[in-house]
Amino acid sequence: MDVRLDGRVALITGSSRGIGLAIAQQMAASGASVMISSRKAETLEAAVTTLGERGAWFVANAGDPDDAAACVEATITRFGRIDILVNNAATNPYMGKTIDIDRPRLDKTISVNWAAPLMWTQLAWQAWMQDHGGTVLNIASIGGLSVETTIGAYNATKAALLHLTRTLAAELAPGVRVNSIAPGLVKTDMARALWERGEEAIARTLPMHRLGEPEDIARAATFLCSDAASWITGTNLVVDGGALL
């Protein structure tokens, strides 16, 4: 099956590195024009060179409403449309029992991991998708499907994102499809503290005997945003090497 995105425009949050950049690279290779965004210009400048002529970048803090609106407007100005929105940006400022989290870090986690995907989807809907259709993909986590006592606040926001995905899929159909991916442990900088010291031991516990790579998520993301998945909406695709088994 040849999965192509020719003529499409994708906007991806949190995409200067890791899973977000891998999705941008895969979508560009599949024919899409791609706007990448994150908080730091220097990392975006380096990242966009890997996308060739199909890439552009815009500095935006995913949790800032003004930044989000400016980025959506910049995407429309640069490419004329937004066919695909990938809500990938996430944060985890707190590790520990949920019962002990302080309010500022809780608010930040909720703002970036749940409120921001809703806000960016609203903006993309209002700017383009309401009249022209499109696809929204939320990057969640298998943490939203399980319980861990060391990262519970983060996982709760991902569980909420999974529910938001289904809600928006029902509300925005039939013109806009909304799906999510729940990655397992992927070798990214954000997750480095979880895997770097014990990669081999963790891999042995997984049925596939390896940790995930950003490209594993990127291929699934490109499929879900393509016409090959045109009858899929409101669905969460687990990509975890069998971890939940």
Give the residue numbers marked as catalytic: 154
Interatomic CA distance for residues 89 and 137, integer angstroms: 12
Distance CA 194, CA 127 (A): 38
State the angle between helix axes of 18-29 and 214-224 in degrees (0 to 180), rounded to the nearest 10.
50
Omega before residue 174 within 30° of 0, cis: yes
What Rg value do the Cα atoms of the chain yield, rounded?
17
What are the structure tokens assigned to 19, written together? 């899973």
Non-local CB neighbours of 64 within 8 Å, separated by 6+ positions: none
For 106-117, give the secondary structure using H, E and C: HHHHHHHHHHHH
Taking the C-alpha atoms of residue 130 and residue 216, their distance in angstroms, rounded to an integer, is: 30
